[in-house]
Amino acid sequence: MTTTPLREHGGPTTPGGGPELPPPRGELSEALIAHLREGAGPLPGRRAAEAADPYGEDLQLALHLGYELHYQGFAGVPDDAEWDPGPLRMRSLLERRFEDALRAACGRPDDPDEVFGRLLTEPSDGNGDGVSHYLIRRGTAHYVREHAVLRSVHQLREADPHLWVVPRLQGRAKAGMITIQYDEYGCGRAEHMHARLYADLMQALGLDPAYGHYLPFVGAPALANANLMSLLGLHRARRGALVGHFAALEIASSPAASRMVAALRRTGADEAAVRFYDEHVEADAVHEQLVRREVVGGLLADEPALAPDVAFGAEATTFLEEAFATHVTHAWGKGTTALRAPLVPNTTDRQPEVPGPDLTRGSGSPAGGA
């Protein structure tokens, strides 16, 4: 298979608009993209949604497209497409398929503290199997850049999906959430917003920081993580699960950020790239205490019946993060790219390009494969 050059096939953001619509990955995303481009057209129904791989490339891309209409949108797609009944109906079918699969995989956790406790347990020998563990042990500048691309779908809008829950909280939970989000948005300074810091990280690594630019390169395991945030955030009925998801991210963030700082410095990254993770080491250690005590504690004091939802949100987050890590580290372990097509190495990379995976195939399972 030939190498796909990054700059020829990226998804540029147009001035004053959103990113370009990406190439489709199957019948679901093809129909939705055609509908968004033309403003009309038939869309798949329940049967197609129920037959789709819930973790596959086609369904996850279609979900991302549907959710993105509520964020920055796409170039050439009118803003009022956000409330077009056709895509909304299709999105509802797809997210039901996705959520049903997650609930089947995660069982019925009902104790948030038990789930959070597992997240707080680091391997005693330091040899975990997450992506940050891999990068700190075996990472190269090339792998660091791939990881930055994979995470960009979420990190360039880092806190936005979680803000959907704020109007649905009360008292301590709402105040705690806003306190944490004030940090996420730079304490009132645009240049300190975490999404801005991530764009700086990408630029320091020789990557294009434009919102949505790398969507064609990001596969289903990374899209599933971002889609879960939107699924939970956009539905009031899933406010408990969104809080559980948020707590799981904050609890796991500080140790992983510390490893990423070490990995970036070991691979010679500029301090502008290190800053994003360095900011999270201390901040998220504080956030972890605040989210458990005030956000989760406050929510369950007001609505104790939501405890199973909180537990599910945290468990589903862990499940998808582990699937993402498996996909990425297995690809790197085999010497292949974890992206849908390889990046063009910059001048600091010492690792040659490798053939990319078949762009027509889905991941087939949450653990994926490359």
Give yes or no for residue 6 having a pLDDT over 60: no
How far apart, in whole angstroms, are the C-alpha atoms of residue 318 and residue 248?
7
Q: Closest by alpha carbon to 28, among 49, 13, 4? A: 49
* 130-178 pLDDT per residue, tens: 999 999 999 999 999 999 999 999 999 988 999 999 999 999 999 999 9
How far apart, in whole angstroms, are the C-alpha atoms of residue 258 and residue 14?
35
Q: Is the separation of the CB atoms in 12 and 19 below 8 Å?
A: yes
Q: Is 289 exposed, middle or buried (0-12, 13-18, 19+ CB in 10 A)?
A: exposed
Give the CB-side neighbour count of residue 4, counting CA atoms within 13 A: 15
Give me the chain's average pLDDT, please.
Answer: 87
Q: Please state the rounded mean pLDDT for residues 185-189.
A: 90
Share of the chain above pLDDT 70, in %: 86
* 237-296 pLDDT per residue, tens: 999 999 999 999 998 888 899 999 999 999 999 999 999 999 888 766 678 889 999 999
Give the CB-side neighbour count of residue 56, counting CA atoms within 13 A: 21
* 356-366 pLDDT per residue, tens: 333 333 333 45
Give yes or no for residue 71 having a pLDDT over 80: yes
Confidence at residue 122, expressed as pLDDT on a 0 to 100 scale: 62
Q: Tokens for 34?
A: 């055609």
Poorest-pLDDT segment among 47-51, 67-71, 255-259, 305-309: 255-259
- Of the pLDDT bands very low, low, confident and very high (cuts 50, 70, 90), residue 346 is low
Confidence at residue 359, expressed as pLDDT on a 0 to 100 scale: 33
Confidence at residue 131, expressed as pLDDT on a 0 to 100 scale: 95
367: which strand partners?
none
Give yes or no for residue 128 having a pLDDT over 90: no
Q: Tokens for 45?
A: 């129904």
Poorest-pLDDT segment among 21-30, 330-339, 358-367: 358-367
Share of the chain above pLDDT 90, in %: 72
Confidence at residue 254, expressed as pLDDT on a 0 to 100 scale: 84
How far apart, in whole angstroms, are the C-alpha atoms of residue 126 and residue 123?
5
